[in-house]
Structure 1
């Protein structure tokens, strides 16, 4: 499939599924669409033809193109209603077991959410490593600046500005990945025994981190398109929490993206209640088409949002290079950063600066978006086909995690253990809650191109799941 028209079509489809384009709304003409996006008429025509084939738009003779009226998706997961309560993370041992199991190299990689090597521009990265080493051969001889290499912070500042996010190089700290950035932020703004608000279901790695730091969690209910901000606001107003660990874009494990209005509301709530929001935006650049959605940080005018990200989910997991923009917490994070990390790998920082500066990263992201969309869709369709009738699967607008809900009687943890015996990795839903929720759910990784091996693995999972219901 032509990457250019697929990318354009994926962006329009993303806007439709997020509600930015409403049912019945007239779309731009082919000529206007081509002019708006700087593409040929042929590319615009193919984009609309593809969207029509997917059932997203309708071509009305002599009238134009319109967004289809779509019935609600009966296959999306349902989410439990509950009142938020502060709890310790008592299932840390289960989370540790599951995370170890998800990384076993012999398993079909449906567990850890990670891109296959074939999705990564490894030759281009090697070129940047070589160029950086040639330009600064002495970079490996010292620890480098505490805040990170100026070249990388400057390159990131320009990269973020191209997406509409204004951050100066001095606003950024370079870290050993996103999770260490989250760890720094939590250490800087909270104490053992404090309660941290998190969306529910909550990424198991975050729960494990919170447990290791002795923090309690307050799970805020989510739905298919976001989280219950009314509940979050009530908890902030009552003084139950003073720190929230949230994600605005392509939330793992559900794949939703908060609307700009919701992001603005979160930033306003943080300022009004003097609550620090630690924003995990590690999947922010993993959209399925269209411009990169701005993070909550873009609406943060008073510095209450600590924005964290990394290259791990888009480019190079093994590099372990991330960043954070701490806002008003910069001094506290910088002190902890110096005592805890001392420095981040300087040659890799300089290589990534080169990769950004020569446009290779932007080109890679443009190629990656339609690829992720196709991989997620292939896995979703296979699950709906092979899993028991009544199974429900998320429809992510970004990222490459799928959240699956089994029919009544299904057990995600039992399926996880049965799958391990068959050499298949997955993560059970029980690892995403400290309250014992989501036992009928599981998360699958769509970071690999669709293959016969994945098809056979999903077929096996479906057979095991049906066996639970027999």
Structure 2
């Protein structure tokens, strides 16, 4: 379905990027643009709000919308180049301590990559929960089928189809969040002691998971644009790894989204070398553009990609509902599932299915993308203002993680400890590697609506970095 406000936004965005609309130029008023384009006032208003959130327009009280000065292109972070030796994960204590600290709600929330409660459509979710379980009656009190409620599988399949992702309901399994989906996939395609290839830096939760399952990791060098596919092919071709675990769309912590060509290439490598690729696509629906990027799975013609995701980053972490599409490994995944647990929460599955089928989830995503773009832009603007001389940082096109590289002699763990005492949460870079890389980097989260308190926290971080350097 095409949204007219997004179509207008695309036109205006192209005019800004081409220089037809110049920085500082005032756009027609909402009413004037409505008349010029024969669109409703609501449509133009939503278009302007979207472009404002994405950093293209600036709203000035009483005067209107102006083309915003595009930020000076900040130098991107630099990343180490290293060998891909197999490694055990041995920094679990630090990872666990930082994760626990990041959950403290009394601190300024720049640590955990999690949606703020204010961004969760609580009332709509509650209506779906009541409506779905009233409809189901006694069915809601029973165990669901081990692979998931049929109505939820149908709803997910239809939802993905709207984004151009072909995923039949009979190919999917509902899981307790994305981490269970990843765990299930790892258990099926590898054995204890096996090595998996991971782009580095990578999500610390993935490292924890592999360590708990007795797997080793071979880290692949990355940049803010993606990771070294040549290195990945070397590992696959030499049989040095049994599988690959990647996030191709808005990866945490770097925020990159691989190109279509790169995704096609990874799917082809998996087929050519018969090396399973486990795709963690939990941020796939957190992009700022109208069209959701397709996952690697879309080019997996022989089923060597296991696609995993959940609603934890887009809707409600507490729902703990995820999925995996197993490809050629579906039957093995289903069999392994029976040895692990009986079922996923039935009432929440039914509620999520109702939320999707009613159109509420799509409406929520459309608003969330605008909100996330605004929050990330505000965080990056704050970093540009306060830390331009102390660090380099990413400007992601999706998700809500921002990677910041500090001066080489700045110890990010020490910074983390100082900030924790000052009431500010952040995550030091060392937890995103099994090899203690990224000692002078931090990851910040833009999962909360921007506030003056958060801007002051960034300023405090900048001053502390200056003192430590």
TM tier, shorter chain? 0.7 to 0.9
* 2: CA distance, partners of 1:131 / 1:181: 28
Q: Check 1:381–1:147 CA distance in 2 against 1; reply closer, same or farther (3 A cut).
A: same
Instruction: Give matches, 1:68-217, under 5 Å.
Output: 73-217=73-217
Look up the match of 2:410: 410
Look up the match of 1:361: 361
Look up the match of 1:255: 255
Secondary structure (helix, strand or coil) at the match of 2:425 reads coil
* 1: CA distance, partners of 2:119 / 2:46: 25
How far is 1:124 from its partner?
Answer: 0.3
* More off after superposition, 454-463 vs 190-199: 454-463
Normalised TM-score (structure 1): 0.87
Secondary structure (helix, strand or coil) at the match of 2:438 reads coil
Q: Check 1:8–1:199 CA distance in 2 against 1; reply closer, same or farther (3 A cut).
A: farther
Secondary structure (helix, strand or coil) at the match of 1:307 reads strand
* 2: CA distance, partners of 1:343 / 1:55: 44
Conservation of the 8 A alpha-carbon contact between 2:6 and 2:290: no
Q: Check 1:150–1:204 CA distance in 2 against 1; reply closer, same or farther (3 A cut).
A: same
Look up the match of 2:464: 464
Q: Check 1:303–1:95 CA distance in 2 against 1; reply closer, same or farther (3 A cut).
A: same
How far is 1:9 from its partner?
Answer: 3.9
Look up the match of 2:65: none
Q: Check 1:389–1:72 CA distance in 2 against 1; reply closer, same or farther (3 A cut).
A: closer
Q: Check 1:8–1:454 CA distance in 2 against 1; reply closer, same or farther (3 A cut).
A: farther
Conservation of the 8 A alpha-carbon contact between 1:10 and 1:370: no
Normalised TM-score (structure 2): 0.88
* 2: CA distance, partners of 1:113 / 1:72: 26
Secondary structure (helix, strand or coil) at the match of 1:463 reads helix
Q: Check 1:434–1:178 CA distance in 2 against 1; reply closer, same or farther (3 A cut).
A: same
* 2: CA distance, partners of 1:43 / 1:49: 10
C-alpha offsets along residues 339-374 of structure 1, whole Å, 9 cap, x if unaligned?
Answer: 212100000000000001110000000111111000
Q: Check 1:423–1:38 CA distance in 2 against 1; reply closer, same or farther (3 A cut).
A: farther
* 1: CA distance, partners of 2:311 / 2:304: 24
Secondary structure (helix, strand or coil) at the match of 2:282 reads coil
Instruction: Give matches, 1:199-348, under 5 Å.
Output: 199-348=199-348
Secondary structure (helix, strand or coil) at the match of 2:146 reads coil
Secondary structure (helix, strand or coil) at the match of 2:454 reads helix
Conservation of the 8 A alpha-carbon contact between 2:54 and 2:374: no
Q: Check 1:239–1:358 CA distance in 2 against 1; reply closer, same or farther (3 A cut).
A: same
* 1: CA distance, partners of 2:38 / 2:261: 28
Q: Check 1:155–1:420 CA distance in 2 against 1; reply closer, same or farther (3 A cut).
A: same
How far is 1:159 from its partner?
Answer: 0.4
1:386 aligns with 2:386: yes
* 2: CA distance, partners of 1:55 / 1:366: 17
* 2: CA distance, partners of 1:48 / 1:159: 27
* More off after superposition, 454-463 vs 352-361: 454-463
Secondary structure (helix, strand or coil) at the match of 1:106 reads coil
C-alpha offsets along residues 190-237 of structure 1, whole Å, 9 cap, x if unaligned?
Answer: 111100000100111101111111111011111111111111111111
Conservation of the 8 A alpha-carbon contact between 2:53 and 2:373: no
Conservation of the 8 A alpha-carbon contact between 1:388 and 1:406: no
* 2: CA distance, partners of 1:331 / 1:172: 10
Equivalent pairs, count: 446
Conservation of the 8 A alpha-carbon contact between 2:111 and 2:427: yes
Q: Check 1:10–1:404 CA distance in 2 against 1; reply closer, same or farther (3 A cut).
A: farther
* 2: CA distance, partners of 1:11 / 1:219: 41
Look up the match of 2:427: 427
Look up the match of 1:376: 376
Conservation of the 8 A alpha-carbon contact between 1:149 and 1:349: yes
Conservation of the 8 A alpha-carbon contact between 1:116 and 1:449: yes
> Structure 2, unaligned stretches of length 5 or more?
22-27, 29-33, 58-69
* 2: CA distance, partners of 1:136 / 1:53: 40
Secondary structure (helix, strand or coil) at the match of 2:306 reads strand
> Structure 1, unaligned stretches of length 5 or more?
58-69
